């Protein structure tokens, strides 16, 4: 099991356990936090962005690296749809439905990271 702590300006801090390998965006949303995922978890929108207080993975999927480099944002935040839960992770959720005023978080991300994000 992985232990996740999620913090944000629009919800109470939550710490919870999820199965190793769960996509981080789905773990966060599964706690009732209204994190955005406007592209459905395909590393295209960056609205699932988080910053890490601890436990940041060193590796990136190809899709995450490509997107963050394209935007010039590499090193500023990570894409929670491209990260699998492991160990202890403490994150700040940076964009929510509440903070953005949007009334739709986006299409539900699949359980697995899409193949086209891996290469």
Q: Which of 4, 81, 83, 105 binds ligand FES (CB under 6 A)?
A: 81
Contacts of the segment 35-39: beta carbons below 8 A, 24+ positions apart: 35/80, 35/93, 35/95, 35/96, 35/105, 36/95, 36/96, 36/97, 36/100, 36/102, 36/105, 36/106, 37/81, 37/105, 37/106, 37/107, 37/108, 37/109, 38/102, 38/105, 38/106, 39/81, 39/106, 39/107
Does residue number 37 form part of the binding site for ligand FES (CB under 6 A)? yes
- Which residue has its beta carbon closest to ligand FES? 81
Q: Which of 7, 44, 55, 92 binds ligand FES (CB under 6 A)?
A: 44
Does residue number 48 form part of the binding site for ligand FES (CB under 6 A)? yes
Rounded to whole angstroms, how far apart are CA atoms 70 and 6? 27
Q: Which of 8, 38, 77, 91 binds ligand FES (CB under 6 A)?
A: 38
Which region among 15-23, 36-44, 87-95, 110-118 touches ligand FES (by CB under 6 A)?
Answer: 36-44
Which region among 13-21, 26-34, 46-54, 90-98 touches ligand FES (by CB under 6 A)?
Answer: 46-54
Does residue number 43 form part of the binding site for ligand FES (CB under 6 A)? yes
**Secondary structure class of 63 (helix, strand, coil):** helix
Question: Footprint of ligand FES on this chain (CB under 6 A)?
Answer: 37-39, 41-48, 79, 81
């Amino acid at each position: 099991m992985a232990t996740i702590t999620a913090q944000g300006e629009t919800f109470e801090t939550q710490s919870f356990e999820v199965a190793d390998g769960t996509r981080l965006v789905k773990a966060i949303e599964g706690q009732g936090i209204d994190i955005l995922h406007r592209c459905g978890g395909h590393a295209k929108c960056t609205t699932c962005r988080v910053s890490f207080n601890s436990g940041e993975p060193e590796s990136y999927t190809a899709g995450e690296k490509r997107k963050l480099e394209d935007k010039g944002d590499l090193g500023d935040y990570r894409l929670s749809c491209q990260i699998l839960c492991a160990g202890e992770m403490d994150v700040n959720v940076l964009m929510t439905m509440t903070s953005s005023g949007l009334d739709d978080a986006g299409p539900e991300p699949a359980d697995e990271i899409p193949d086209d994000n891996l290469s």
